[in-house]
Amino acid sequence: MNPLLTHFDTAPFSKIKNEHFKPAFLQAMKDARAEIDAITSNTAAPTFENTIEALEFSGQQLDRISSVFFNLNSAETNDEIQKIAQEVSPLLSEFGNDITLNEDLFKRIKTVYEQKEKLNLSVEQHTLLDKRYKSFSRNGANLSDDKKKRLREIDAELSKLKLKFGENVLAETNKYQKHLTDEKDLEGLPDGAKEAAAQLAKSKGKASGWMLTLDYPSYIPFMKYGKNRALRKELSIAFGSKGFHNDELDNQKNVLQIAKLRHERANLLGYKTHAHFVLEERMAETPEKVHSFLNELLEKAKPAAEKEFSQLEAFAKKLDGIDRLEKWDGSYYSEKLKQKLFSLDDEQLKPYFKLENVIDGVFKVAEKLFGLQFEEVFDIDKYHEEVKTYMVYDLDKNFISVFYADFHPRAGKRGGAWMTSFKSQWKKDGENVRPHVSNVCNFTPSTETKPSLLTFNEVTTLFHEFGHGLHGMLANTTYPSLSGTSVYWDFVELPSQVMENWCYEKEALELFAKHYETGAVIPMNLITKIKASATFQEGMQTLRQLSFGLLDMAWHGTDPNPINNVKTYEEQAFKGTNLYPDTPETCMSTSFSHIFQGGYSSGYYSYKWAEVLDADAFAYFKEEGIFNTEVASKFKEHVLSKGGTENPMVLYKRFRGAEPKVEALLERAGLLAE
């Protein structure tokens, strides 16, 4: 019996073998097609219930199988899973097109849509109907047959290209291993990072020495503390040139093809560019608005960034006689300058951020704000022994969610940090079906002598992903496609980014920032320094984020057909945001997974957009008290639980009483003109 075709609750990982996936996909697609046929062959007149709701709850087994499979492909992949992904992705893309290009189905949806004013629908039903109609009309339902055929070809091709892009980035990351045998090369590196490098060398079969890789917990400490400039340069170029070596793992062709196919697809559907197509369903609405938003922030941040860069250059020159600051010098001298200005470095802070304590801390914050309780359990099946599993309850012991947490890098896991889910939330037949949510990160692992001690940046990352997790866990909607994080893309980062604010607050830090050896609470002087250094080089950081947003818009907001050189085009896009000299051997686009593999195409600006929302939202908490339950319950009720059931600005205004102000962000970032 194929475990993926049974009615499972939590995913039955230990029973699943790779050979189960493809047959399960094929069967589930067949079953879902039968459900669609039942809707289209229904002789009764189309109604909201027999068409829109029936469609919403169709294909649920396929959704569950997809979530298990693609989450594994991100967090615990191997060659076999990657091969299956290449086989099933075009089939799923074809299946999706079979639905959105199904004329009989669209006719029924259109009939219901055209009488929506007379149907006495709830707000959520209205949103679902609107979303469903648009998902058809925006994906080719109104096209002629030859154009529909071309759309299918594009979608199948894109699904394969995006996978290939991601596989190449992962392979490039895993390929680079620097084995060091001279301890002098590690000068400046903290003991914990050295020990981790020695442990890594051992795990890679080396009898002695130290190993550096491009995984964040290995790469970042070396770039920040490693004194050996030549080695920093080598690592920086290896990291920045992923997918840019004109070999079998090269992504330049993939980048151009993805951009060109997305553009052709948008044109086919009647849109000027891919960005015009995407942004129609975002808070920002148009590429013009995104550009003016990014440029307004650029105008405010650039003078500060240039001033900070000059200060850093002067500092590096004075300290080590560096004439020209290069990209591989940035982290190193920034850290040194930060230590000089604030007498603060990550090594002082890490003993207070033992991973288990930080997890406990984020749970306590969630309890104080939203009345949640997390209970670690050991009887839920998991895909890797490192994964932790929790049952989440409210204060009355009502079951809220299952929560999976997976924190350390592995060969089969892509870089970065993300939230995902194995099961959505919905309501049907009087039952509120609760979600299964997961956070996946790549944090500093424990060593033989030390537990996993997080950098402050890793602490904020954990809180960030947990904010997405809360958005999933606290979902309380009727329809799965409107539940949890199924919101406008430029709204999805609000719950995650707002949670980061608690990491800077004394009241919150005192709950969990305790020395892993002595149990002493983090001293007040360190909390003061954390707050004081929060806006350190904020201009440079902002410029960096804006450069990524502008690169994304350059690829997707214009016609990419004349582009034939990825690197040259990228240089043009970066022109107004460059501080460091260009490194010819590197290219950002060829490993920019957010936009070429993930869902951020034409959406990278949303990090900054959501920062405006989160700064404005947290200002409200600050006014009333960071653990004020009244403000927290408004946030839970109007933002976290509502998913995508209404326009996000309507939800935000209900929580805050007004639209967000960009000034809140500029003030927090220290970028308001004096």
Q: Which pLDDT score, from 0 to 100, does residue 203 have?
A: 93
What is the set of active-site residues?
465
Q: How would residue 673 be classed by pLDDT, with cut points 50, 70 and 90?
A: low
For 188-234, the three-class secondary structure string (H helix, E strand, C coil) is CCCHHHHHHHHHHHHHCCCCCCEEEECCHHHHHHHHHHCCCHHHHHH
* CA–CA separation, 584 and 568 (whole Å): 10
What is residue 426's three-state secondary structure?
strand
Q: How would residue 298 be classed by pLDDT, with cut points 50, 70 and 90?
A: very high
Kindly tell me the sign of the dihedral angle through the C-alpha atoms of 133, 138, 141, 143.
positive
Complete DSSP assignment for 606-666: HHHHHHHHHHHHHHHHHHH-TT-HHHHHHHIIIIITTTTSS-HHHHHHHHHSS---HHHHH
Complete DSSP assignment for 571-597: HHHHGGG--SPP-TT--SGGG-HHHHT
Tokens of residue 437, six digits: 């949510």
Q: How would residue 84 be classed by pLDDT, with cut points 50, 70 and 90?
A: very high
β-partners of residue 406 are: 440
* CA–CA separation, 95 and 90 (whole Å): 8
Domain boundaries, the chain: 3-142, 176-240, 247-340+535-674, 351-519
Q: Which pLDDT score, from 0 to 100, does residue 359 have?
A: 97
Q: Which pLDDT score, from 0 to 100, does residue 385 have?
A: 96
Q: Which pLDDT score, from 0 to 100, does residue 415 have?
A: 86
DSSP H or E run through 177 = strand 177-180
Q: Which residues contact 17 (CB under 8 A, 6 or more apart)?
A: none
Please write the tens of the pLDDT for every residue from 460-478. Answer: 999 999 999 999 999 999 9
Q: Which residues contact 226 (CB under 8 A, 6 or more apart)?
A: 186, 187, 188, 189, 232, 235, 332
pLDDT of 674 strictly over 60? no
**For residues 80-108, average pLDDT:** 95
Task: Report, in angstroms and rounded to the nearest whole number, the Rg of the chain calculated over CA atoms.
Answer: 25
The phi and psi torsions of 464 (rounded to 5 degrees) equal -60, -55
Q: How would residue 133 be classed by pLDDT, with cut points 50, 70 and 90?
A: very high
Give the β-pairing of 388-394 and 372-377: antiparallel
Topology, domain 351-519: Neurolysin; domain 3 (1.10.1370)
Please write the tens of the pLDDT for every residue from 343-402. Answer: 988 889 999 999 999 999 999 999 999 999 999 999 999 999 999 999 999 999 999 999
Burial class (CB in 10 A: 0-12, 13-18, 19+), 267: middle
Alpha helices by DSSP H, 376-516: 456-473, 493-500, 506-512
Q: Which residues contact 464 (CB under 8 A, 6 or more apart)?
A: 417, 496, 497, 499, 500
Q: Which pLDDT score, from 0 to 100, does residue 516 have?
A: 97
What is residue 459's three-state secondary structure?
helix
Counting residues of the chain whose pLDDT is more than 90, the rounded percentage is 95
Counting residues of the chain whose pLDDT is more than 70, the rounded percentage is 100
Tokens of residue 603, six digits: 């959406």
pLDDT of 672 strictly over 90? no
Helices and strands of the chain, counted as H and E runs:
27, 9
* CA–CA separation, 491 and 639 (whole Å): 10
DSSP H or E run through 91 = helix 79-100
Mean pLDDT of the chain: 96
Q: How far is CA 380 from the centre of its chain?
A: 25
Taking a C-beta distance cutoff of 8 angstroms, is the pair 404, 387 a contact? yes
Topology, domain 247-340+535-674: Neurolysin; domain 3 (1.10.1370)
Architecture per CATH, domain 3-142, reads as Up-down Bundle (1.20)
Taking a C-beta distance cutoff of 8 angstroms, is the pair 333, 536 a contact? no
- Fold match flag (247-340+535-674 vs 351-519): yes
Tokens of residue 120, six digits: 């006495």
pTM (predicted TM-score):
0.88
**For residues 275-300, average pLDDT:** 95
Please write the tens of the pLDDT for every residue from 409-426. Answer: 998 998 889 999 999 999
Please write the tens of the pLDDT for every residue from 156-176. Answer: 999 999 999 999 999 999 999
Alpha helices by DSSP H, 352-501: 355-370, 456-473, 493-500
Taking a C-beta distance cutoff of 8 angstroms, is the pair 66, 21 a contact? no
Q: How would residue 489 be classed by pLDDT, with cut points 50, 70 and 90?
A: confident
